A and B are shown apart, each in its own frame.
Chain A
Amino acid sequence: MRFDVAVLVSVGRHPVSGRPQRADADARALELALRLTQRDALHVIHAGDPADLSLRDYLGMGVPALTVLRQPPGVNVLEPLASYLAQLRLALVLTGTQTEQGEGSGLLPYALARRLGAVLVAAVTGVEVIGTQMDVLQALPRGRRRRLSVTAPCVLTVERSAPVARQSAYARARRGTIEVLDVPAGPAPPPSARVQPARPRPRRLRVATGGSATDRLRALTETQSAGGRQLVHPSPDEAAAAILNYLVTERIVTGLDES
């Protein structure tokens, strides 16, 4: 049985210089796909300008060819992508969580999954295929991972928790071919947002209320006493018991409570 995988790639943006480059999340999605499937069952698809040089970065990762659905800038590419993907009879679509250029609402994978009748799993760090079932590892906050089983077809979105993408080789990037398909352009989205340069926003401070002005200033500038428990010069065993009991009662560690 052929197991067709599509990777949707976009043009990224260097976080400091703002130059176009391969998008980090899309490159990680391609990395997962390259580990998962044969090269001939892999479709790498971009909707946009085929002349963009940074698309060659994906070819340099070891993909022989890349398909570009020619689209003018700034249009909604859902319709062209969905109708193209529907022809391919895919088992799996991998893509980054959101684009790096423009606002990046992150809605495209969800709208695509709905159009393709596929299950969507967000923040995927690993995939394993067992028949038509897929074992998916999902990244959760605080480094936790959740294992899920989903049935094909499915759309998986990838972000920074996925394995780092391999380097792009210059010769391969030159050798790879870009196949251009002329498809009808998607609709232009209604202009809705005003754009302004971003300003750094400070993290929230815990503002002390009440007390005198001196107290409030002191609360902001000095190390605050947490009012915790103190054991002064305990024996090592007492200290160890105190630490371990604290960890157990706060449920930081499991299976170490006093029996």
Chain B
Amino acid sequence: MTRRRISWQPPPPAAPGTRLRRDPRAELEGRPAPASGSSVLGEPIAPAGRVRRDPRAERQERGQSGAPAVHATEPATPALAERITVVADPACWVLAVPDFGDGRLGSHDRDVLGAARLIADRLGGATVVLAPRACHEDFAALGTDRVQPVTLPATYDPEWQARAVLAAIDKLKPVHIVFPENLTGGGDVGRRVAAELALPIAPRVVRLTGAEALSAAGSNEYIRPWPRLLFIAAEAVEPPNGARREARVLEELAPITAPAGFEDHGLVAIDPASVPLTEADFIVSAGNGVTDFAAFHAVAATLGAAEGASRVVCDAGHLPRARQVGASGTLVEPRCYLAFGIAGAVQHLQGIAHCERVIAVNTDLHSDMVKRADLAIIADAQAVMPALIRLAERRRSSRAV
């Protein structure tokens, strides 16, 4: 495949007395040089946006101040992390609207902040994050220049959220607004905004290049110059690299009136067995080390977990094929995966690669599953399962009394 040249801009003139450092890759991607307003406590910024170090000057400074010579292997990152990039007068604003599911920034939200950072860097602008007032994230470490606080309702109300975004757009006039692409979060709110303002959008952006967004749809990809609204797919853009930014908190938006229409009755308790394995929140899984399947089913029922199994167990017919976890079964990503008697074949570990927490109960101390686990119990599953049921029942009944 031939590489396509997107656009080329002439490099900015070099300062007097210095030689211009070229960045062929940035030129190929059509990235402009950093904005003239950017500075890191007077330090120059490389074209890629990272702070350019001058190790020789640093060594000389150390020598003059009489400080002991620092060993060469000592990491220089703590000193770098202290530096804060300040964009005082940006050319434009890029607004990021993360979901804040469960009140925290998720990994998809971080990708959205990364996309906003990427766009702002190429336009010489600054990023603003629309965040609930009660949010206490370290936005400075996430490459954010400004934080726009807003008061949002505790219940689900996408119309209200859309009005908050509209108010922020009205106040800041951002050139681009970036949302996470999903069904019930930012993807929903952003499309309400797009319908209200009749703005073009780029849905399901899987890649951001120099000045273009690449949207995936079926077996095709649609490439267009960045429209005003971008919906970033999960894992499409790297999250910000950790260089600290100012994250100055702006004045809060004026109170937004709540439109009528939604009444939120909260989450509904559902039968975990009815949920597909890919969607399950908590999975209890059985491997070859499990022989007592009555106890296994009882554990899953007691803890309210979905049932999974390794290939061996499904081959033996103890559980249906739809419950198989692994490369040849289902790739799952629950918040917690409790594995009984699973040694952790490579194919099985691939299936649980995106699990947040893994608990393993296994007799083999040196198995891969035990290595992978956040909590490993080296014991026989047949002994642990009844004890787990007994303990859960006892605690539940003591609370009920």
Contacts and interface: CB of A to CB of B under 8 A. Distances in A.
B281 A143 contact: yes
Contact of B191 (A110, A223, A256, A258): A110
Given A194-B223, A237-B387, A250-B336, A147 B235 contact: no
Contacts of B201: 105, 107
Chief secondary structure at chain B's binding surface: mixed
A193 interface: yes
B265 A148 contact: yes
A246 B338 CA distance: 11
Interface string A229-259: 1111110110111111011001011011111
A159 B280 contact: no
Contacts of B387: 236-237, 239-240
B391 A143 contact: no
A193 B311 CA distance: 45
Contact of B183 (A97, A234, A240, A247): A97
A244 B392 CA distance: 8
A116 to B, nearest CB: 12
A98 B181 CA distance: 13
A192 interface: yes
Contacts of A242: 375, 377
| Interface bin, chain B | 35 or more
B349 interface: yes
A252 B335 contact: yes
Interface stretch (A3-11, A66-74, A133-141): A133-141
Given A105-B203, A143-B279, A259 B184 contact: no
Given A252-B282, A253-B282, A243 B203 contact: no
Contacts of B275: 143
Interface stretch (B39-47, B59-67, B166-174, B353-361): B353-361
A18 to B, nearest CB: 7
A100 B218 CA distance: 7
Given A103-B217, A141-B182, A223 B371 contact: yes
A237 B265 contact: no
B219 A247 contact: no
A142 B334 CA distance: 7
Contact of B303 (A107, A195, A239, A247): A247
9 contacts: A106-B203, A143-B275, A144-B281, A149-B263, A149-B265, A228-B376, A232-B378, A234-B377, A252-B357
